[in-house]
Amino acid sequence: MKKVLLGAAVVGALVSAGAQAQVPADRSIKYRQGGFQIMAIHFGRINAHIKGERNLTPAQLEMNAQVVDTMAKVVFEGFVEGTDQSANTKAKPEIWKEFAKFKDGGAKLSAETAKLVAAAKTGDKAQLQAAFGGVGGACKACHDVYRNN
């Protein structure tokens, strides 16, 4: 029984590795760009609330923050090796030259987006504003280094 399970696990790993290798670069690029777009829309809604242009309920604030938090993880799935070789991306080759550092930037972003969710739950504007600044700073830190403008 153990052998069967192990065999299934190995086959599963091979299939998923093979499937990943076959994803065309432009699909990975579209995937991450879609994630970034969704993230920016929901981040923008929180910004509008902070600026007083919108008046979101605590539940709406939390939902928006949670989308930002989720997308912050999702987008990193799209940075597949080799996907800097396209006219459709602003991603710099440096990402894949120092991928651990790049992923570390992702971890920092996630730490900040988690704080945004916590701040949204309080509904307190000052806390929201502080957390918003933290997320924006984490976005910018990577964009400055790893994105062509």
- Using CB under 6 A, list all residues that contact ligand ASC: 40, 43-44, 136, 139-140, 143
- Minimum CB distance to ligand ASC, residue 7 (Å): 46
3-class state of residue 91 by DSSP = strand
Question: Residue 101 or residue 143: which is nearer to ligand ASC going by CB?
Answer: 143
Decide whether 81 or 104 has the Cβ nearer to ligand ASC: 104
- In angstroms, the CA 16 to CA 113 distance is 29
Which of 33, 34, 39 minimizes the C-alpha distance to 66? Answer: 39
Q: Which of 112, 105, 104, 103 is nearest to 131 (CA)?
A: 112
Total Cβ atoms within 10 A of residue 84: 20
Supply the minimum distance, in Å, between the C-beta of residue 44 and ligand ASC: 6
What type of residue is 56?
A: L
Beta carbon nearer to ligand ASC, 40 or 114: 40
Nearer to ligand ASC, 85 or 90 (CB): 90
Please state the closest distance from residue 10 (CB atom) to ligand ASC, in A.
41
